[in-house]
Amino acid sequence: MRASKPKKPKTFAPSLAGRCLRYAVMDLLGFGRMLSEDTLTAMRAGSSWHRTFQSRLVHEGEVLGLEVPIKNEELGISGRIDAVIKEHDKMVAVEYKTVYADKYRQIEEHGPLFDHWAQLALYVNLGRYERGRLIVDNRESEERLTFGLLPSTEWETWLIVRIQLARRYQLQRMLPSREISLRCLHCDRWQRCFKTEEERAQMVQSHPLWEPNPPLPEQYFTAGAYGILSEPTEHSN
């Protein structure tokens, strides 16, 4: 009997870039998520919005590609960029998100959500694009917000360190410590971190601020992006 080939470790999805390290490692180790019916409905609606966005984009500008692969063998990253466009001779990676009205207002006031921004930063800094553009649509109105991102060595370093850390834990099949913050209240893997909702609420109350290691890139706060770090991720895509 032929020995079966050893399974390749799961790749790091760009959408994990801005998540808690423990969450990212759970994903790499194949842990399930607790998705509510509301979340699943929102995800399906999000996919449909994405298709509409991409089909309109094709008629609007110089689109070089849709669902453009991004791969980095060394870091074990694999994913797809919503679109790549050419603008003033620059290659621009485009990330499209939709959110409900309450979240939209927060983004309008405080800037992009960290998860969205980090995902785009990964495309730009590790995919070597000259610009990044985040487009956020309000699912309940015709409104749209657009943010631009430039390459930054600070982001590049932060992303590489976080991804390498996650990969190390993945290879050791170990979970890192919790990164407790308000984000735990919306995490769809929280049962792996707390025994009860009461315990979670207490721990979050005593440590509401997310303090990842290494600390968040300063550029996130200085480039007009002040997105709150307590955002629910379940109603965005």
| From 80-88, 124-132, 187-195, 222-230, span contacting ligand SF4 (CB under 6 A) | 187-195
Question: If binding is defined by CB under 6 A, does position 68 make contact with ligand SF4?
Answer: no
Q: With contact defined as beta carbons under 8 Å apart, do 136 and 117 qualify?
A: no
DSSP assigned state of 176: P
Q: Quickly count: other Cβ atoms within 10 Å of residue 187's Cβ.
A: 24
> CA 148, CA 178: separation in Å to the nearest integer?
31
Of 20, 70, 135, 223, which one interacts with ligand SF4 (CB under 6 A)? 20
Q: Does 99 bind ligand SF4 (CB under 6 A)?
A: no
CA distance readout (Å), 137 to 98, 100, 233: 5, 8, 15
Q: Percent helix, strand and coil across the chain, each rounded to 5? A: 45, 20, 40
Q: Per rule CB under 6 A, is residue 162 in the interface with ligand SF4?
A: no
Residue closer to ligand SF4 (CB basis): 83 or 229: 229
If binding is defined by CB under 6 A, does position 42 make contact with ligand SF4?
A: no
Q: Of 190, 219, 226, 234, which one interacts with ligand SF4 (CB under 6 A)?
A: 190
Does residue 189 interact with ligand SF4 by CB under 6 A? yes
Residues in the chain: 237
- CB of 201: closest distance to ligand SF4 in angstroms? 12
Which residue number, 68 or 180, has a Cβ lying nearer to ligand SF4? Answer: 180
CA distances from 52 to 46, 132, 133, 155, 196 (A): 10, 20, 18, 31, 40
Q: Is 163 in the site for ligand SF4 (CB under 6 A)?
A: no
Residue 28 and residue 230: Cα distance in Å, rounded? 23
**Residue 179 touching ligand SF4 (CB under 6 A):** yes
Candidate segments 7-15, 18-26, 48-56, 90-98, binder of ligand SF4 by CB under 6 A: 18-26
Question: Given candidates 84, 126, 184, 229, which one binds ligand SF4 under the rule CB under 6 A?
Answer: 184
Residue 193 interacting with ligand SF4 (CB under 6 A): yes
Give the number of other Cβ atoms within 10 Å of residue 196's Cβ: 9
CB of 125 to ligand SF4, least distance (A): 23
**Residues 6 or more apart from 7 whose CB is under 8 A from it?**
none
Binding site for ligand SF4 (CB under 6 A): 20, 22-23, 178-180, 183-184, 187, 189-190, 193
